[in-house]
Structure 1
């Protein structure tokens, strides 16, 4: 079994914001694989399906970003999903918009959603896909920037990165994560 977690904030006011790119990636996977996100439990919304013969869970925690671990840990425990079979998708200010970076471990790097996951999982060693959103321009605060909408000139790159993440996650259903890292980094 694989658990794909997209980080974001619940509510329509956050739809399409930079901080919700993890949600956008999970939605893309759900659409491509015909998985309905129709189960509300574990402080999140999730769906279950089969991709390339592999049972897959897609999860969007509805706890707000800084409490994401409160959703992920209970689902993992209930379905007995080991840490090596999860991947977390989230926004990254240190990557240019449109770029993705796969890693098997690392610090939170100031990301509150990842801080929560590390606290609840008890380790920094879990698969992750960081999706670049770049840094604020023109003196904009980080909070306003990550909770803001993309600039019009960024939309194509964002769409391409979401598509690339979906391809990487699908590749992970048939290959070890290290191999997928080497292919997509």
Structure 2
């Protein structure tokens, strides 16, 4: 069993912000696959979906935490404890301040590098041995803002085309990891 978690902040006011690219990627995966509709689970602190068997050989859980970004570890911990998922079978999709808009990177066993949502997950799991799909968010606007303000900033109209390409790429990368391996996906997408 595998778990794909898209990080973000709950609430309509955050939907089109940089910090919610993980949520947007889960939404894209729901459209690209025959996954079940998201269901809110207060017990698991997340909206949960599963991929139907015709898409994959094993059960895949898709999740959007109901917690705010900085507490993502609570939801991930609840989900893996309930489904008995090992950390190495987790894929976390999130925004990345160290990458420019238009780039994604797949990584495994790496530090949080200042990302508070990832730091929360590492603290909860007591390991960093999980896969991440990092979606670049750096634009020219970043130079004028503090990181905390920037990640909660709404997308500019001129960025939508690039964002849509990145979300599609991140969704494809997640599917590649499931179908082949992290290493093969890294070779293809990094």
Give the Cα separation in 2 of the matches to 1:104 and 1:138. Answer: 28
Q: Unpaired runs of 5+ in structure 1? A: none
Give the Cα separation in 1 of the matches to 2:130 and 2:51. Answer: 22
Aligned match of 2:50 = 48
Aligned match of 2:25 = 25
**Corresponding residue SS for 2:98:** coil
Confirm or deny: 8 A CA contact 2:4 2:60 kept in the other structure.
yes
Aligned match of 1:141 = 146
Q: Unpaired runs of 5+ in structure 2? A: none
Q: Does 1:100 align with 2:104?
A: yes
TM-superposed CA distance for 1:34, in Å, is 2.8
Cα deviations by residue, 1:89-136 (Å, 9 ceiling, x for unpaired): 000111011210000121111110001000001011210010000054
**Corresponding residue SS for 2:154:** coil
Q: Of the candidates 130, 137, 140, which is equivalent to residue 134 of structure 2?
A: 130
TM-superposed CA distance for 1:56, in Å, is 0.9
Confirm or deny: 8 A CA contact 1:54 1:173 kept in the other structure.
no
**Corresponding residue SS for 1:3:** strand
Aligned match of 1:179 = 184
Q: Does 1:76 align with 2:80?
A: yes
Aligned match of 2:169 = 164
Runs of 4+ in 1 over 3 A off after TM superposition: 135-138
TM-superposed CA distance for 1:54, in Å, is 2.7
Q: Structure 1 5/139 Cα, relative in aligned 2: closer, same or farther at 3 Å?
A: same
Aligned match of 1:119 = 123
- How big is the alpha-carbon RMSD for the aligned residues of Structure 1 and Structure 2? 1.3
In terms of fraction of residues, the more helix-rich structure is 2
Give the TM-score normalised by structure 1: 0.95
**Corresponding residue SS for 2:4:** strand
Aligned match of 1:4 = 4
Give the TM-score normalised by structure 2: 0.93
Give the Cα separation in 1 of the matches to 2:9 and 2:97. Answer: 17
